[in-house]
Amino acid sequence: MSHASRQRGLRRRRPNFDDSSSSWLVTYSDAITLLLAFFVMILAVSDLNEGKIESLKEGLAEVISSETTTTPFTDIRQGIDDYIEQNGLQDQVSVTLDPRGVQVEFANVALYDSGAASLKPAATPLLQELSRVIRDVSHGSHMIEVEGHTDDLPISNEQFPSNWELSSARATGVVKYLLESGIEKERLKASGYADSRPKEGLDDLPLNEQRKANRRVVVSIRRY
């Protein structure tokens, strides 16, 4: 065999490293890309856990809390509404639901005589029903604030030197009744506001109608 033939044979047997060298570079590049994507994902999840997930947890807790408190308030409103309708008291008692709880508003005539702070006998069944609904539905988990309100006509007598004393005495009278009906004293609060908090939206009414609407007692049932 000639020297030239041996050289050609050697050249034919020489392995080709070009393809293998490029293939490992591609694999390395893919690995780096995957690692980069992995670290980006870890960073994103970390940010989500520290910020957004915490916010979501708080939001979920608020929703759950809302669900557990809204149902009793709705039941209280329904119970009082049913009694109002059955006894034709729509012009004396109203019930409203708001984000904080439920309000039961009594026109003064439903509970008290003019200028007096002793509960009328006719008020007993109404307050009896109110206390029953609170006991059955609330289960001790809500506070009850009773507010007394008067009109802007001043009162001055031996028993009540001003509307402050009158409104406070009326609120206290309702609180005492609820206490005697089995509502825990820790849940009860009486406040007298005289004519310092008139109702809104009465400007179009005659003055005597405005004063009539402002003579009221409001029972607010709220979560702690």
Give the DSSP H/E element, type plus range, for residue 96: strand 93-98
Which parts of the chain sit beneath pLDDT 70?
1-31, 39, 43-71
Please report the pLDDT score of residue 67 as a whole number.
47
Token couple for 199? 């109702």
Q: What is the pairing mode between strands 188-192 and 216-223?
A: unpaired
Please report the pLDDT score of residue 180 as a whole number.
96
Alpha-carbon dihedral sign for residues 118, 121, 126, 130: positive
Nearby residues of 181 by Cβ (< 8 Å), 6 or more positions away: 127, 128, 131, 132, 135
DSSP lists the bridge partners of residue 192 as: 148
Distance of alpha carbon 152 from alpha carbon 173, whole angstroms: 21
pLDDT digits (tens, 9 = 90+) for 73-93: 888 899 999 999 999 999 999
Domain at 70-223, CATH from 3.30.1600.10, 3.30.1330.60, 3.30.70.1350, 3.30.1050.10: 3.30.1330.60
Rounded alpha-carbon distances, angstroms, from residue 98 to 154, 165, 223 = 32, 29, 12
Distance of alpha carbon 8 from alpha carbon 121, whole angstroms: 126
Distance of alpha carbon 87 from alpha carbon 222, whole angstroms: 26
Q: Measured in Å, how far apart are the chain's first and last C-alpha atoms?
A: 106
Token couple for 140? 């001790």
pTM of the model: 0.68
Please report the pLDDT score of residue 7 as a whole number.
52
Q: Which amino acid is at 181?
A: S
120 in Cβ contact with 112 (< 8 Å) = yes
